Structure 1
Amino acid sequence: MVNSTPLPAVRIAGPDEARVVAALLVEFNREYGTPTPEVDVLTRRLRRLLADRSTFALLAGRPEIGVALVSLRTSVWYEGPVATLDELYVGPQQRSRGLGARLLAAVEAEVRRRGGEVVEINVDGDGGGAPRFYERHGYRNTEVGDDTPLLYYFRELT
């Protein structure tokens, strides 16, 4: 049976909603067994980040059931900012209804509104359905004209 409940609205979160964003991010990490700072730590960081135009978050619903967190940076390769979709999360009970697609479309619209030309996403190798989700929405892990997969490397400097 198809759920005919309308999808909730998506809105930009202000710094005053940092705790809501933090709670959803902690829920996301705990669902997948990923170590995460506590809500209070993320709330403090998010309050600062969301007050700056280089980071934005989108929230879906009231009460909130989904979140997207995006960082913007400059790049020599593009006129406008490059966006990194740091996190996209929809609560388990709300999945497979199109809310992830709605959040992703809202991310793209906001990045365009801010002059951005590209959205980058890092997906875990065992990301379950995440790679298929992003590919279904036009994302790829190869450069145009090249079938060699792109890789992501990092090193914590602490």
Structure 2
Amino acid sequence: MNDSPVTPEIDTRPELHLAVVRETVPFDRIPELYDRAYPAIFQALAETGVSPAAAPMGVMHGSPAAEGLDLSVAVPIPQPYTGTGGGITAETIPAARTATMLLRGDFSGLSAAYERLYAWVSERGEQPTGIAWEQYLTEPEPGGDPALNETLIGVQLAGD
């Protein structure tokens, strides 16, 4: 496995509109949520004539709890989502200063990458707001090489 995060950085990210399926999910059922949510989201977007504006994401709200993770499986779109039904709802990530880091490699490296990013944020005296996200810049392919995956992770920061 060749999980390789690069050096974190802080930048200001614009507001981001999302079409989401949001649930509190036990950790061992996260892959099932993604497998169910993305087809539903992309179908709803196609039915409403909305095209994705960027690569798909997962957005974590707050801290993990005993019952699992408050997770939005999300697709960025150009304007607020107005479709109805199918469990797809609108969500907006506010514009904010954000610490980001690129992870190259298998998704199994995400936990360690988040730990590294949060430690880097803490070392700089920054305060997370409770919103963290990962954006899947490369689409995994069945039988593909996981070392080629690129995932941008972000932690929103308090203050200007």
- The TM-score normalised by the length of structure 1 is 0.30
| Higher strand proportion (structure 1 or 2) | 2
Higher relative contact order (CA 8 A, sep 6+): 2
| Higher helix proportion (structure 1 or 2) | 1
- The TM-score normalised by the length of structure 2 is 0.29
